[in-house]
Structure 1
Amino acid sequence: MQQGPTFYALGNWQAPFGIVLFADRLSMLLVVLNGILGLGATLYAFAGVDREGKYFHPLLQFQLMGINGAFLTGDLFNLFVFFEVLLIASYALLIHGGGKQKTLANVHYVILNLIGSSLFLFALGTLYGTTGTLNIADMALRIAQLSAGEQVIAKAGGLLLLIVFGLKAAMLPLHFWLPRTYAAASAPVAALFAIMTKVGIYGIFRVYTVIFGEQAGELANMVQPWIWPLAFLTIIVGSIGALASPNLRHLSANLVVISVGTLLIAFALRTPQATAAGLFYLVHSTLVTGALFLIADMVGQQRGKALDWFVMARKVSQPALLGILFFVGAMTVAGLPPFSGFIGKLVVLQSAHSAAEILWIWPIILIAGLITIIALSRAGTTMFWRYTGEGDRSQVQRVSRWQVSAVILLLLGSPLMVIFGAVVTDYTTAAATELHQLQGLFEVMNLQEATK
């Protein structure tokens, strides 16, 4: 059995000329995470969502294929291809079941992503024109050898890619599409979309660590001055959005924005330790926010026309079950012990070493956590403790076993990440080390010999 990174050259056309699928610990971690989230979304859909429109399950599989392909591709052009695959599937999934709100959100979502795809192509053309390759590892070898004029062009291409990845990741100021889109989607689709922003985050980590990392000469760490303020502002805007959220779906969507800002901070620190901390936090935040979208839908089923809005409505018919699930999800996403959110935020805080980093990072993350607790406390008290009456129980739709199983599956990730914390942190540390140490990447693709 082969150990370490591996790659598959389609048609046996070797890198950097052929299409290459590359798998290292980082890629496989995200592929497994995508599989777990996809399983949860599928289980939840069995309760009836998949019958609200046509071709739900095939579209879901295309979505999973596109996301997995984005994590496994070894060149930028096929990253664009897989982006398009997952986006086309997401367009259909978002509007699955129909409705005015879904249609309106889908129009905005499609237009923005078409603009992003166009910028992606411009960036690829710019980088290919200067480096002569789109293979990520090969580009990392060539980027430091560019002339001064070519470096200016390559930098423009790299900044265009940052805009594209920032749009996919919902980084400020390109985050405005996310709350409305995620809140309009059906519950299993919104849960699966929790990993969509992580595709953009993955692109930032991969491209700006491998291609524009320490070995890139004058272009090394060129986006770091931009990432720092954008990361802080993304957390601030997400926190404000969480406080202002009118329902649990919007609140969950804004919690996704906060998680994006936290992951950008981990990237901006530019150390293997910070990257490992970010990967731990990425897994935790993806699973718990996915679960919260499902919980919001289950609560809405039992509150009549009020759905999951923060208004007085009839009492839910299963307060103990839904209350426990919400409480576990809220404790986890807020970062309170003994759940994985506490460890995730702790390792991110510990990855800040200098006084300046601690001065900026600790307050913003801790205050965001406090705001999250306040927002979730308001949500919980309104939906479970403030109600107008019992209502007509005979017409209340009880949650199905499929729905409960899906939520439990995603929430189980939190205690398991605590119980097996040493194993998980060892793995994320090894994945971060592989990402930052490029020699293994060059060796597995035999690129150093090809460039001599």
Structure 2
Amino acid sequence: MGDWIVVPIVLPAVMAALIVLAVRHDIILQRVFSITATVALVAVTLSLLVYASGNGPEMYALSDWPAPFGIVLVLDRLSAMMVFLTSLLGLGVVLFASSEWDQRGKHFHALFQFQLMGVNGAFLTGDIFNLFVFFEVLLIASYGLMLHGAGAERLKAGMQYVVINLTGSSLFLIGVGMIYSVTGTLNMADLAIQVTNVASGDAALLRAGALILLLVFCVKAALVPVHFWLPGTYANAPAPVAALFAIMTKVGAYCVLRVYSLAFGDTAGDMAWLAAPYVLPAALVTLVLGMTGVLAAKRLNSLIAFSVIGSMGTLLIAIGLFTPEAISAGLYYMLHSTFSAAALFLIADLVVSRRGQFGDSLHTAPRFHQTGFLAVLFFIGAIGMAGMPPLSGFIGKLQILDAARDSDAMVWIWSIILVTSLMCIVGFGRAGSVLFWKSASVDGEITVEGAKWPVLPIIASCGMVSGLIALTIFAGPITEYLNGVAVQLFDTSHYIEAVLGANALSLVGQ
């Protein structure tokens, strides 16, 4: 694909600068530029996905500096899938925000485009230091988006989010420095070779650096015990921002997969898959705590935020198993959970905007405009998040359960996934009953000015729900593609040779 590999990074970066410099005073032009750029991004990433499905990994060297000395981007099945998922999510978010959310604060569309740039860069980079750089780009943009529209609760949650991520960034640099000090490289393909050459006296330092990176990635993935920042952040963020943040936790999960399967994979000898002893137990606890929060939530947005924690626990169970079947199942569930969380946050905003003074509190209130229509959307999103048939959540959980049959922890995995699924059903069932069913017994109707049929928010919400339906209908072809992703992740030779050349693997252990 050549120069096209860098387009998912360059396009939103250029558009963000253009919006700030040229059209910052005209909200209509900002919307036109932002939506047009995001539609173009969908087209480009779809082309990359099609190309990656039929070809091996391909490297793009910025400024034509050779690896491992220059900045490299690498396109393979996994990175292509993630940038396409990001662009689809971004399109839904920008459509929803363009109704009126983008007017509640300054520079929404510029920050949004920078966010896309950072996320896409994290998925495409082949270098751990540049992974840090793109982390900072997406985090800085997310700080502005999180505080968009202000408000005391949002400011409080935003400050916690900023402090946690600044701490994570500091740890990231420490981990990167420790790894570089003993390997002399941060290129992930080159690390796969160099970790085998590390002197025995430096092995502890390398291991410590790798585990610090794991901690940073787990912060982003909201894995216990570093998950505490997520409920307040997501529950108080603007609805389109919370929907966009559905991909943020997946960045952490992606980094665990990418770094520890490649740089610390099968070629790494004693350093192979350092994350394995820690991820699976923590993922099981994360799932339990997330779904317990769903049962205990008193606000709709808090309920959805805790369900995101639970869904990340389910995803990381699959990653912790670290078999091709489990990874394929986990990636399918990741696609599902991204659309499911985004859909629920957008639908929740449509509900809250119509409930007047009752907001997102889970208390019985009179009916509101479009109650029936929104009840249907909420029901679809809820059964998707809970993993009930026939939607993709059920398929994803079934695949994960099947992949866990040969695991020593099978009994724990099956028991916890099944019990927490029931907890999720009860939690969302309670919320739906309060919001839609019990409201029919209350006299009167809440009338909120302007809350009639907002076209773009409804299109965006239906689009996210349609993503769940599409994942269900095309589960077969999608699973086949994801099986190919798992094969590439476990056979790293093609990735390493694409970055370093055909004879790179001959240097392993030398």
- TM-score when scaled to structure 1? 0.97
Structure 2 CA distance for aligned equivalents of residues 411 and 392 of structure 1: 26
Tell whether 2:435 aligns with 1:401.
Answer: no
The one of 433, 437, 446 equivalent to 2:491 is 437
* 2:368 and 2:445 in contact (8 A); partners too: no
- Output the CA distance in 2 between the equivalents of 1:242 and 1:440: 43
Aligned match of 2:226: 174
> In the alignment, what sits opposite 2:445?
391
User: Is contact 1:298-1:399 (8 Å) kept?
Assistant: no
Asked if structure 2 preserves the Cα contact closer than 8 Å seen for 1:20 and 1:74, the reply is: yes
User: Hey, what does 1:154 align to over in structure 2?
Assistant: 206
Deviation at 1:349, TM superposition (A): 0.8
CA contact (8 A) 1:316 1:384 kept: no
User: 1:267 maps to what in 2?
Assistant: 319
After superposition, give the CA deviation of every residue in 1:256-303 in whole Å (9 maximum; x if it has no partner).
111111111111111111111111000000011111001111111111
Q: What is the CA distance between 1:401 and its match in structure 2?
A: 1.2
Name the counterpart of 1:117. 169
CA distance in 2, matches of 1:141, 1:264: 27
Whether the aligned pair in 1 keeps the contact of 2:368 and 2:447 (CA below 8 Å) is no
Deviation of 1:356 after TM superposition, in Å, equals 2.7
1:349 aligns to 2:375 (yes or no): no
Distance 1:270 1:332 in 2: 25
Identity %: 48
**SS of residue paired to 2:141:** helix
- 1:55-74 CA deviation, whole Å, 9 max, x = no partner? 11111000011000000000
Identify the match of residue 251 of structure 1 among 303, 327, 339.
303
CA contact (8 A) 1:249 1:308 kept: yes
Q: Determine whether 1:102 maps to 2:129.
A: no
How far is 1:208 from its partner?
Answer: 1.1
Equivalent in the alignment of 2:329: 277
* 1:333-373 deviations in Å (ceiling 9; x for gaps): 11111111111111111111326332121111111111000
Does structure 1 conserve the Cα–Cα contact (< 8 Å) formed by 2:95 and 2:456? yes
Q: Within 2, Cα distance between the matches of 1:167 and 1:5? A: 29
SS in 1 for 2:409: helix
Whether the 8 Å CA contact 1:304–1:313 is kept in 2: the answer is: no
Which whole-Å deviations, capped at 9, do the CAs of 1:169-188 have from their partners, x for residues lacking one?
A: 11101111101000111100
CA distance in 2, matches of 1:214, 1:364: 30
Check whether the contact 2:369–2:446 (CA below 8 A) recurs between aligned residues.
Answer: no
Change (3 A) 1:283 1:377: same
Match of 1:340 in 2: 392
Q: Of 287, 295, 304, which residue of structure 1 is paired with 2:339? A: 287
Deviations 1:168-221 (A, max 9, x none): 111101111101000111100000001100000001011111111222111112
CA distance in 2, matches of 1:396, 1:408: 20
Q: What's the counterpart of residue 13 of structure 1?
A: 65
Instruction: Indicate if the aligned counterparts of 1:304 and 1:314 stay in contact, CA closer than 8 A.
Output: no
**1:114-263 to 2 correspondences below 5 Å:** 114-263=166-315
C-alpha RMSD of the superposition: 1.4
Name the CA shift for 1:155/1:377 in 2 (closer, same or farther; >3 Å): same
Once structures 1 and 2 are overlaid, which stretch shifts more, 188-197 or 386-395? 386-395
User: Which range is displaced more, 165-174 or 218-227?
Assistant: 218-227
Q: Structure 1's 355 and 197: CA in aligned 2 closer, same or farther, altered over 3 A? A: closer
Say whether residues 1:45 and 2:112 are aligned partners. Answer: no
**Which of 351, 369, 377 matches 2:421?**
369
Is the 2:321–2:407 contact (alpha carbons within 8 Å) kept by the matching residues of 1? Answer: no
3-state SS of paired residue (1:7): strand
**Superposition pairs for residues 320-339 of structure 1, below 5 Å?**
320-339=372-391
Residue pair 2:354, 2:448 contacting (<8 A) in 1 also: no
Query: How does the TM-score come out when normalised to structure 2?
Result: 0.87
Contact 1:301 1:396 in 2 (8 A): no
Unaligned runs of 5+ in 2: 2-50
Q: Could you report, residue by residue, the CA deviation over 1:415-439 in whole angstroms, capped at 9, with x for unpaired residues? A: 2112111110011110111111011
Change (3 A) 1:394 1:430: closer
- In structure 2, what is the Cα distance between the partners aligned to 1:327 and 1:311? 18
Distance 1:405 1:160 in 2: 42
Match of 1:311 among 324, 345, 363: 363
Residue 359 of structure 1 is matched in structure 2 by 411
Q: 330-339 or 282-291: which moved more?
A: 330-339
Aligned-partner residue type, residue 405 of structure 1 = I
Take 2:446 and 2:319, find their aligned partners in 1: how far apart are those partners? 51
**Comparing 314-323 and 10-19, the one that deviates more:** 314-323
- Alpha-carbon contact 1:238-1:255 (below 8 Å) kept: yes
In 2, Cα distance between equivalents of 1:447 and 1:163: 32
Note the C-alpha offset of 1:414.
1.4
- The C-alpha deviation readout for 1:373-407, integer Å capped at 9, x for no partner, is 00000000000122333235364722411111001
1:44 Cα deviation (Å)? Answer: 0.5
Q: Distance in 2 between matches of 1:394 and 1:185?
A: 22
- SS of equivalent residue, structure 1 residue 412: helix
Aligned residues: 452
Secondary structure of the equivalent of 1:312?
A: coil
2:35 maps to none
SS, match of residue 194 in structure 1? helix
Moved more, 314-323 or 187-196: 314-323
By relative contact order (CA 8 Å, sep 6+), the higher-ranking structure is 1
Match of 2:83 among 31, 44, 52: 31
Output the CA distance in 2 between the equivalents of 1:399 and 1:162.
Answer: 45
Q: CA deviation at 1:449?
A: 3.5
The separation in 2 between residues aligned to 1:395 and 1:159, in whole angstroms, is 53
In the aligned structure 1, how far is the partner of 2:404 from the partner of 2:281? Answer: 16
Q: Secondary structure at the match of 1:258?
A: helix
Task: Structure 1: give runs of 5+ residues left out of the alignment.
Answer: none
CA distance in structure 2 between the aligned counterparts of 1:72 and 1:245, rounded to whole angstroms: 37
User: Map of 1:81-100 to 2, 5 A cutoff?
Assistant: 81-100=133-152
